[in-house]
Chain A
Amino acid sequence: MPAAPHPAPPAPASAPSAQAPSALAPSAMARPFIRIEGVSKRFGSFQAVRDVDLTIGEGEIFALLGGSGCGKTTLLRMLAGFEDPSAGRIFIDGQDMTGVPPWERPVHMMFQSYAIFPHMSVERNIAYGLKHERMSAAQRADRVREMLDLVQLAPFAQRKPHQISGGQRQRVALARALARQPKLLLLDEPLAALDKKLREQTQFELMSIQSRTGVTFIVVTHDQEEAMTLADRIAVMDRGQVRQVGSPTEIYEYPNSRFVAGFIGAISTFAARVVRLTGEIAEVDIPAMDGTFAARSVPGLVEGQSVTLALRPEKISIAKTCPAAVNVVEGQVKDLAYFGKDSLYRVTLPGGDLISVHAVNARRADEGGRPADWDDRVWLSFEPGSAILLTD
């Protein structure tokens, strides 16, 4: 039940978000290329994928994000044709894929385990898909060389898979999947096996390869940062269901449920009750903060409704004097972690709950840059537009 993305609100001037407000407009999708209609998959009595509806545009990098076992690989395998959906249909480029075997689909997959043929050299691995292609030997050799250059593996062409590193193996898998110029490339946790540095480097490589080839990518990952870096749009999955679809900004700034809010980035949530609705603004009573606060309203809210108010740590300002702001709450610093460029505070609220606050250290700590210290009384404030109201 992917909720319609929120209409673009006028961004509050003081919003600390670096995103341009235009990024919040419902992302205009390119020509729809893949349609997944009501797809479910059950293994015996276990439902791995539940009634998924997705539309993915041509040339898009689309991320499937979710925890372990939520059905990401299963959904990908249904796209590749290794599993048949128990219900629903998949269309690729307007063509119904029901009953089409994997070898006839215009789809290539990069496997979670890479699945490189251990008995073939790097070159032969990359050339493998091309033997089903009508092309001369010279054309084929050209294409292989082109792929080797693309993933910078030319010096390793004659090596066997066990003679190259994990990151190189991953690039062989990518080159092999790209060699036949698929319309759709499925990548199952393509970077999971790489160390942090190589992973970041490869993320950008993937993006540049995507923009050069124009192939539609569906990337599975359980790493939200990776999804946000790579993807044009993200689908957040939970126990077989898609909980929300949207651009990284939409997902981060306008999560539609407590699950999505908690899954993407850090967030503090508080039980609240709607007291008054005035146009764009909902006034909510938050027992944990011992007061009434203003937050941007969401469609379908009624007075008296129980809701959850969620606040991202970086959307909260912290000060030792009471600021002139709409939403102010007093607290005491319980814990603080200094990371250099920024600090994370854990502040005890009047009701005893803890809230996380992220503050940039704009000035040196010894020159008054650190707004608060351990056990200081502090005032926290946030813009109504930064507070997220969740109704689930």
Chain B
Amino acid sequence: MTALAQWFHRRGWRDLIIGIPYAWLILFFLLPFLIVVAMSLATRTPTAPPFGYGGDNPLINPAGYARLFTDSLYLRAFLTSLINAGVATVLCLLLGYPMALALTRVSKSWRTILLMLVILPFWTSFLLRVYAWMGLMGRNSWFNGLLTDLWNLITPQAWALQSIPMMNTNFAVVLVMVYTYLPFMILPLYANLERLDPALDEAAMDLGSRPFQVFRDVTLPQSIPGIIAGGLLVFIPAAGELVIPSLVGDAAAPMIGRIISDEFAQARDWPMASTVAVALLVLMVGPTMIYSRFQARAEGAETDGAKP
């Protein structure tokens, strides 16, 4: 008992605090992931659960991985996912950067209000908000009508439209993803920009740089970690997004999340679903690695005493 207490006082706290996230990761990430990997190497059987190893089937069956490359359905789904997620990420960056920058430049009281507004959408159900967009994009909505009128106003007669076909397109997917994930871009960017020393901007101005040059030379390079953090926080969930493409997307060009869901629920092909899931994860590990490298480098620079 006393030995335990001693251990606890000497280093128990530290070990415990460091241990918790590891335990969490092992229990809720690594273990499930290993199960999924194991499942992806099984063979589909008409049993419950619908997969098995050995018996009539090969013990390890990598056929699913081969199918990823032979069946164009998967390649196309991956491509659609990457493009949609990529476009959404770039748009989030273009919209979110000025917003994050503005947040750092307004007065303290405004900053609190505006930050609240950025987070406010999370207080209503995500599904509700997607349904609201569906209503807005529908053929008979005032929103669509407004955009159609605008379109007809600025384009030649020949291109006139009754309404803009927005629903069930990749455009709709990207639009709703940008709307949904924008706060995930703004918040890390804001956290990054807010830490920058305003005296650096003044120093650059003092040395002859106009505001645009100050942004290019001083603000932008220093905000790269924030851009990467925000970019990954948008890109990774967007690439695996299921709900948004299911509700507003083009059913003929499904994204990868939809494929996984369909394989599980409709086709009851758990091994194939697992295979796709593993492939998606491998695809996402790349960017995450880049991110952690940047993070480590940024933190390394700081602990070395970047701030005098």
Asked if B204 CB lies within 8 Å of chain A CBs, one says yes
Q: Which B177-197 residues sit within 8 Å CB-CB of chain A?
A: 197
A129 touches B (CB below 8 Å)? yes
**Residue in chain B with minimal CB distance to A102:** B205
In the bound assembly, the distance between CA atoms of A161 and B304 in angstroms comes to 10
Chain A positions within 8 Å of B199 at CB level: 111, 113, 115
Q: Which residues of B contact A119 (CB under 8 A)?
A: 221-222
**Bound: A267/B221 CA distance, A:** 53
What is the 8 Å Cβ interface bit string for chain A, positions 168-186, against chain B (1 contact, 0 not)?
0100000011001000000
Contacts of A108 in B (CB 8 A): 206-207
**Which of B204, B222, B302, B304 contacts A128, CB < 8 Å?**
B204
B134-153: which have CB < 8 Å to A? none
Query: B207: which of A82, A101, A180 is its contact (CB, 8 Å)?
Result: A180
Summed over the interface, the residue pairs from A and B with CB atoms below 8 Å come to a total of 75
Task: Tell me if A310 counts as interface (CB < 8 A to partner B).
Answer: no
Residues of B within 8 A of A103 (CB): 205-210
Indicate whether B54 reaches chain A with its CB closer than 8 angstroms: no
- B308 interface neighbour in A114, A132, A176, Cβ under 8 Å: A114
* Most chain B CB within a 10 A radius of its CB, from A108, A128, A176: A128
Which residues in window 146-179 of A have CB below 8 A to B? 160-163, 166, 169, 176-177
Q: Which residues of A contact B207 (CB under 8 A)?
A: 103, 108, 128-129, 132, 176-177, 180
Contact A129 B208, beta carbon cutoff 8 Å? yes
Does residue A65 face the partner (Cβ distance < 8 Å to B)? Answer: no
| Interface flag for A117 (CB, 8 Å) | yes
Contact A107 to B206, CB < 8 A, known contacts A160-B301, A162-B301, A193-B308:
yes
Separation of A70 and B205 alpha carbons in the complex (Å): 25
Q: Is A260 an interface residue (CB 8 A)?
A: no
- Residue among A102, A111, A132, A176 with max Cβ neighbours from chain B (10 Å): A102
User: A116 CA to B306 CA in the complex, in Å?
Assistant: 10
CB-nearest residue of chain A to B224: A119
Q: Do residues A118 and B206 form an inter-chain contact, with CB atoms below 8 A? A: no
The answer, yes or no, to whether B218 is at the interface (CB within 8 Å) is yes
Q: Which residues of B contact A193 (CB under 8 A)?
A: 308
**Closest chain B residue, CB of each to CB of A109:** B206
Q: Cβ of A118: which chain B residues have Cβ within 8 Å of it?
A: 200, 222, 301, 306-307
Q: How large is the interface on B (under 10, 10 to 19, 20 to 34, 35 or more residues)?
A: 20 to 34
**Chain A residues, CB < 8 A from B210:** 101, 103
Bound Cα distance from A169 to B203, whole angstroms: 14
A80 beta carbon closer than 8 Å to chain B: yes
What residues on A are CB-neighbors of B222 within 8 Å?
Answer: 118-119
Closest to A133 in B: B208
**CA distance in complex: A128, B204 (Å):** 8
B 286-308 to A, binary, CB cutoff 8 A, 1 in contact else 0: 00000000000000011011111
Q: B202 interface residue, CB < 8 Å from A?
A: yes
CB neighbours of A115 from chain B (8 A): 197, 199-200, 202-203
Chain B residues close to A by CB (< 8 Å) = 197, 199-200, 202-210, 217-218, 221-222, 301-302, 304-308
19 A-B pairs besides A103-B210, A115-B202 with CB distance below 8 A are A102-B205, A103-B208, A107-B206, A108-B207, A111-B199, A111-B202, A113-B199, A116-B308, A117-B203, A117-B217, A118-B307, A128-B207, A129-B207, A166-B308, A169-B308, A177-B207, A180-B207, A180-B208, A193-B308
- 25 A-B pairs within 8 Å (CB atoms) are namely A80-B202, A101-B205, A102-B205, A103-B205, A103-B207, A103-B209, A108-B207, A109-B202, A111-B202, A114-B308, A115-B197, A115-B203, A116-B203, A116-B308, A117-B204, A117-B218, A118-B222, A118-B307, A129-B208, A162-B301, A162-B304, A162-B306, A163-B304, A177-B206, A193-B308
